[in-house]
Amino acid sequence: MVFLEALFGFLVSLIVSSVIIYFAARLLGETEGFGTAIMAALSGAIIFPLMSYLFGVGWIAALLAGIAWLIALGSIYSIGWVRAFIIAVVIWLLTTVVSLVLPTIGRAAKI
């Protein structure tokens, strides 16, 4: 049962992250589809825990993970560092807004 709950949580967060990445990329003129956004979200879901495992929890691991994810994002979308960084900033801003709104919706709907 715990495995199913963890799997469900992972899938929901993957879908939400993919939607955010998709819209951020679209806002900045990228034309790739939703599958590309899923690949970008999945790469982040692999890179960040891997860097935490290798380098521990802290700012160095987060910085290295961020750089690795920018490389992955640039590779997945076939864009340069600067464009990948701009998309990442937009993703971060959209994620901040969504993380503020989703809990409010859940409380209002009594979920």
Query: How would you write the pLDDT of the chain (111 residues) with one tens digit per residue?
Result: 889 988 998 998 899 999 999 999 999 999 999 999 999 999 999 999 999 999 998 899 999 999 999 999 999 999 999 999 999 999 999 999 988 887 776 565 565
What does pTM read for this prediction? 0.85
Q: Residue 12 belongs to what domain range?
A: 2-108
Residue 108's pLDDT is what?
59
Q: Do 84 and 73 contact (CB within 8 A), yes or no?
A: yes
- Number of structural domains, the chain? 1
How buried is 90 (Cβ within 10 angstroms: 0-12 exposed, 13-18 middle, 19+ buried)?
A: middle
